[in-house]
Amino acid sequence: MAHPIPKFLKKIEERRITVCIVGLGQVGLPTALMFADAGFTVTGYDINEKIVTILNTGKCHFNEPGLNSLLAECVAKKRFRATSDFPKALKEADVVIICVATPLGDNNRPNLDFLKNACGMLVKNPLKDKLIVIESSIPPGTTKNLVVPILNKNRHRVSKDFWVVYIPERLAPGQAIEEIARTARIIGSYDSVGAEMARALYKNVIKNEIVLTDVNVAETSKLVENTYRDVNIAFANEVAGICEELKIDIMEVIRVANTHPRVHVHTPGVGVGGPCIPKDPHLLISPVGGLDAPLNVIPRARQVNEAMPDHFVSLISDALLKKKKSVKGSTILCLGVTYKGNVSDQRDSPAEKVIGSLISQGANVYAYDPFAPGVFNAKRAKSLMEHLKSADAIVILTDHDEFKNADWAKLSKQFKSGAVFADGRRILSPETAKKLKINYIAVGYGS
């Protein structure tokens, strides 16, 4: 039998490789369009027919800089199309890239149902000569212990008739296109043939190093990357509490500490959100007992970061009490409800807990966000300016450019007398706030 790699390489060179992306969310769609932009024919599969219809008109169903124009171009050139007909999409594909969600279920245990369903669809169809790529974040051991056993129920066999690799996504919403192209990628090898095929393909969209390693190492390293950030942020948040007691500014402490060449303290804040950082620590420790495992640092870091929204609300409450007010009955304007700046993604946003807590304590909460579809049961404000004059507290929950670039010197003149400015994302420095005579509070600032 002829070796499959030369044939695969020739199809890549001639741009005859057809790629099928399973799952057209914030990882799957940018991935699909990057391959389409590189000259490959790409079919995107999604179970949601509404999404399929929208995408085939050349319009994106979520906010991501540069994605709309790239999608319109790829659709016009007939390099990308979306479908809900999986068997047809698979039949035409040489490569299948699975980008389905792997959320947390009960007790923060991994819910791999979407991945199981995707593999279940694959196994019902001929897989001869195909390369199957898993990009979803998964617990260590999932490729070997879940994906391969399911796929081996096919009449074609893994590593003999078709190949499986694990290539963790490394993109952040808001910079997806740039990060796919410029960030080094890891290929988790289940066998050498599949790994070499994957490297040859991904070299066409990755302008950085491609690292080959064992599949279990790749699965683990992906989770370690985000868990490192979670732990570091928790450390910063804990030091922030110390700085509040010492009446000094955590940001100045970090600036000074980070001049050391081996120190990189992250930024504290109102909490950690998004689809990755709150989830990946749980995926990492799940094979060794999850939160019940004999581990300390990772579960503790999660607890610290999950507690930050409540801590921030306490800071707001204390600041209002100093002005002879309480949360109950106060008008509070929350600016930003997405988990990070300049994106529409609200998954696990700390804003949900902050707003929920303020409402439960009897506050009259308005929220404005230029990107988000919803405002977590607050009353939607139409602009940053609306309710600014009547607010007892202005609360920054997301660092959108609109807020960072706002003329706060001008806006602060409209603040209600004694209004609290609670800066959960440090869009203002305490020095600037002092000059503007703003009643300023922030995590880690000894006001």
Tokens coding 30:
């940018």
Give the Cα separation of 11 and 33 in Å (integer).
19
Tokens coding 251:
């940001």
Give the Cα separation of 73 and 71 in Å (integer).
5
Helix (H) or strand (E) segment spanning residue 354: helix 350-360
Tell me the pairing of strands 364-368 and 379-380: parallel
> Is the separation of the CB atoms in 98 and 127 below 8 Å?
no
Give the Cα separation of 367 and 369 in Å (integer).
7
> Is the separation of the CB atoms in 12 and 6 below 8 Å?
no
CA of residue 151 relative to chain centroid, distance: 28
Q: Spot the catalytic one: 74, 99, 243, 276.
A: 276
Q: Backbone phi, then psi, for 5, in 5-degree steps? A: -65, -50
Q: Spot the catalytic one: 20, 60, 222, 334.
A: 222
Measure Cα distances from 18 to 12, 201, 231, 306 in Å: 9, 11, 40, 43
Helix (H) or strand (E) segment spanning residue 98: strand 95-98
> Any catalytic annotation for residue 207?
no
> Any catalytic annotation for residue 323?
no
Can you say whether the dihedral through the CA atoms of 204, 205, 207, 211 is positive or negative?
negative
> Is the separation of the CB atoms in 25 and 137 below 8 Å?
no
Give the Cα separation of 62 and 67 in Å (integer).
9
> Is the separation of the CB atoms in 190 and 163 below 8 Å?
yes
Contacts of 16 (CB under 8 A, 6+ apart): none
Q: Please choose, from the candidates 166, 125, 127, 114, the residue with its C-alpha nearest in 3D space to the C-alpha of residue 144.
A: 166
Burial of residue 58 (CB within 10 Å: 0-12, 13-18, 19+) is middle
Burial of residue 246 (CB within 10 Å: 0-12, 13-18, 19+) is exposed
> Is the separation of the CB atoms in 418 and 323 below 8 Å?
yes
Helix (H) or strand (E) segment spanning residue 335: strand 331-335
Give the Cα separation of 23 and 99 in Å (integer).
5
Which residues participate in catalysis according to the annotation? Answer: 222, 276
